[in-house]
């Protein structure tokens, strides 16, 4: 049950692939919240991917902020995942041409940092929002709780 959401522009792509829930014996309180995730980036001459730490709460927060910003046409979306590997900002100075900028610093490789910027169309952000909402449907904690209640 994998899912992905992407930010796509003419000059590149930033994607988050979710493979499933990750839990450990030490994380009983957050069980079902941590997600196996991979970041894939293609910006200009740079292409790479790495494992990152996301939670369902991260996805919910990004979904709410992106939905509100698209509705208002004037907000700035600022997002940082729980693991601290990914920081994103979407600026709506020009409502039809939002700018996605980000900093990626994998916690397993602290000396590697990527700063990037993508000019994204509004239509592309609506597609991202749709993909994000589909991902949330697959991996929401509510679905996890419903599955547990049925068992």
pLDDT value of residue 35: 92
pLDDT of residue 64: 95
Give domain limits for the chain: 3-141
Tens digits of per-residue pLDDT, 83-128?
889 999 999 888 789 999 999 988 767 688 899 999 999 999 999 9
User: Does the global pTM surpass 0.75?
Assistant: yes
- Which CATH architecture fits 3-141? Roll (2.30)
What pLDDT score was predicted for residue 144? 46
SS3 annotation, the chain? CCEEEEEEECCEEEEEEEEEEECCHHHCCCCCCEEEEEEEEEECCEEEEEEEEEEHHHHHHHHHHHHHHHHHCCCEEEEECCCCCEEEEEECCCCCCCEEEEEECCCCCCCCCEEEEEECCHHHHHHHHHHHHHHHHHHCHHHHHHHHHHC
Mean pLDDT (the chain) is 85
Task: Tell me what the mean pLDDT of segment 56-72 comes to.
Answer: 93
pLDDT-wise least confident of 38-47, 65-74, 106-115, 135-144: 135-144
């Amino acid at each position: 049950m994998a899912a992905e959401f992407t930010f796509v522009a003419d000059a590149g792509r930033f994607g988050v692939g979710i493979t499933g829930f990750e839990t450990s014996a030490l994380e009983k309180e957050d069980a079902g919240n941590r997600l196996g995730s991979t970041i894939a980036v293609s910006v200009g001459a740079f292409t790479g991917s790495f494992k990152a730490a996301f939670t369902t709460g991260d996805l919910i927060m990004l979904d709410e902020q992106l939905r509100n910003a698209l509705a208002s046409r004037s907000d700035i979306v600022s997002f940082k995942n729980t693991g601290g590997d990914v920081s994103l900002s979407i600026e709506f100075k020009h409502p039809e041409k939002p700018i996605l900028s980000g900093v990626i610093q994998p916690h397993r490789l602290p000396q590697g940092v990527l700063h990037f910027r993508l000019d994204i169309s509004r239509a592309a952000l609506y597609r991202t929002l749709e993909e994000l909402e589909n991902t949330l449907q697959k991996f929401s904690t509510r679905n996890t709780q419903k599955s547990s209640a049925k068992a």
